[in-house]
A and B are shown apart, each in its own frame.
Chain A
Amino acid sequence: MATTFRILPVLENKKLGSYHKVTLTDREMYKSAACGNFIMIGFSMLDPYLPRPFALFEVSKETLSVLFKVTGKGTELLSEVKKGDSLKVLGPLGKKICPPDKGVLIAGGIGIAPIYYQTGFMKGGILFYGAKSKKDLISIREFKNRGFKVKTITEEKGGLVPDLVEKHKGELNGKQIFICGPLGMIKSIKSILTKEQIEKSYVYIEKIMGCGIGGCKSCAVKTTDGYKLVCTEGPVFPLNEVELD
């Protein structure tokens, strides 16, 4: 994997529902980016000091995009970038995963970002997808075009992703399952799934990172095999190996 550090120009910053999609001009990422990869985006000042990890959302021969929700100082700054600004980018990072041609994807809220990227490496399957409101359900048409049967739920209509999973639990049998979303959602889903289903499930883990490349050992997550680093041994882990804390 050719990880590089580059300063990339912002091509576009647009709102998608309550999220932001920032697109950078880049003709290198597509050559080496793989499913499961992420990038670190840094700022031109010392405060905020640390770069932030973002799942790849879209990568083309000319661009790369990230999709995010404003949750703090870093994402707020990133939500304000304009065409022509520059951002520090380190990547691609993380351990490559090889998803099956067809499988089950489960996303909650902004957890849709890496799930959407993953669908580019698959031929179809089922997507269970929930968000706060209908406007935050992103790229539904695109998922369908990629061969996915999409089942959605929104909080404003009184439902959560685990409710959706519970309702269609039988459809998950025998399939590989990939989950990304808030910790509470992941825990609830784990409690719903059968032992066999858990054994075929993988989860995207998010942690605060220092370097993103295995230097600082900050992003440790507890697993059945001791601490592992999310940046180099993840971000995707088998659901039954990782401790959800």
Chain B
Amino acid sequence: MIDLSVKLASLSLKNPILLASGVWDLPYTRIIDFGKLGGVICKGVSLKPKEGNPPPRIAETSCGIINSIGLENKGLEHFNKEVLPEITKLKTHIFINVFGETIEDFAMIASRIKDVAGLEVNISCPNIREGGDSFGKDPKMVFSITKAICNETELPIIVKLSPSASNIEETAQAAKEGGATAVTSSNTFPGLVIDIDRKKPLFKNIAGGLSGPAIKPLALYNVYKIKNAVDIPIIGSGGIANHKDVIEYLIAGASCVQLGSIIFNNPLAPIEILDNLSYWMKEKGYNNLRDIIKK
């Protein structure tokens, strides 16, 4: 019997596959058996409703997509009343991605979400003007936000780091010192698309966030750098498209991984990756994931 279970700090996950925030919503439960996943991270929730960015909000790139959604959501009150009761019915670990425009926003949201496996703190969205990536680049801000949140909740805190930080080891260290339980290795990478007919950036916000297989080597390198500098569990994310990508992330130092935009390309990717991971381990003679990462 192949054992895919992993530990994320004190949490036991049945396998290392989590669904990233921002790519799925409840309609996906019609297609994916969420009970088979290690966990899911819900789309970012803010204190007040946020209408999101003007269209266009997405463009395709080679082996990836670039988005400028702008964290559209109906706010914390709606989330707690309408969404959370449905989400918590899913038979897997539920993490809630939260974001704010000020430190106080983050603390307030953290104090008002209960009964989930943990919070993922979004200090790294490249698509909003206030907060977001500007917080994630600054280790002092990362520390302050993390500490403010940890003061308000007993839930495990995962800080989603920004790939724009000039030194991601420093922001990971700041998250740890602020009290984070773990870090998500990185958000989407800021990038640009030009509309050649209009001779202007495609998105009204200029930059968007690049994701998909196009960014995998960059995102994977972030995991490796954090692992070698900071003693904190890492959730690897960025461009995972198959089981071999998952193995690369685990070897680089991730405790588990997030799948994101690949579910647009193939909604069954999470389940297929789990199956293929088991086949691969069986073929190679591994009984559990710990054996893979042994040097």
> Using a CB-CB cutoff of 8 Å, which residues 8-28 of chain A contact chain B?
none
Give chain A residues whose Cβ lies under 8 Å from the Cβ of B26: 214
Q: Which residue of B lies closest to A212 (CB)?
A: B264
Distance from A215 Cβ to chain B, minimum over Cβ atoms (Å): 4
Give chain B residues whose Cβ lies under 8 Å from the Cβ of A216: 22-23, 58, 67, 69, 261, 264
A47 in the interface (beta carbon within 8 A) = yes
Q: Known interface pairs A3-B31, A215-B28, A216-B22. Does A210 touch B72 (Cβ–Cβ under 8 Å)?
A: no
Q: Do B72 and A220 touch (CB < 8 A)? A: yes
A208 in the interface (beta carbon within 8 A) = yes
A222 in the interface (beta carbon within 8 A) = yes
How far is A240 from B65 in the complex, measured between Cα atoms in Å?
32
Q: Known interface pairs A42-B266, A46-B213. Does A3 touch B261 (Cβ–Cβ under 8 Å)?
A: no
Q: How many A-B residue pairs have CB under 8 A?
A: 106
A232 in the interface (beta carbon within 8 A) = yes
Q: Which residue of A lies closest to B61 (CB)?
A: A49
Q: Known interface pairs A49-B60, A216-B58, A218-B57. Does A4 touch B31 (Cβ–Cβ under 8 Å)?
A: yes
How far is A51 from B65 in the complex, measured between Cα atoms in Å?
12
How far is A186 from B201 in the complex, measured between Cα atoms in Å?
26
Q: How many residues of A contact B (CB 8 A)?
A: 32
Q: How many residues of B contact A (CB 8 A)?
A: 37
How far is A227 from B71 in the complex, measured between Cα atoms in Å?
13
How far is A209 from B23 in the complex, measured between Cα atoms in Å?
12
Interface 0/1 of A202-245, CB less than 8 Å to B: 00000111110111111111100011000010000000000001
How far is A34 from B55 in the complex, measured between Cα atoms in Å?
27
Q: Do B25 and A210 touch (CB < 8 A)? A: no
Q: Could you list some 14 contacts between A and B, CB below 8 A?
A: A49-B60, A49-B64, A49-B261, A207-B55, A208-B56, A208-B58, A210-B67, A211-B263, A211-B264, A213-B28, A215-B27, A216-B23, A222-B55, A245-B55
**What would 17 more interface pairs be, CB under 8 Å, given A3-B30, A3-B31, A211-B24?**
A5-B31, A46-B63, A47-B63, A50-B60, A50-B65, A50-B264, A208-B56, A210-B23, A210-B264, A211-B28, A213-B31, A215-B28, A216-B58, A217-B43, A217-B69, A218-B67, A227-B72
Q: Which 10 A-B pairs have the closest CB atoms?
A: A218-B58, A215-B24, A213-B27, A215-B25, A5-B267, A217-B72, A218-B57, A214-B27, A210-B264, A47-B63
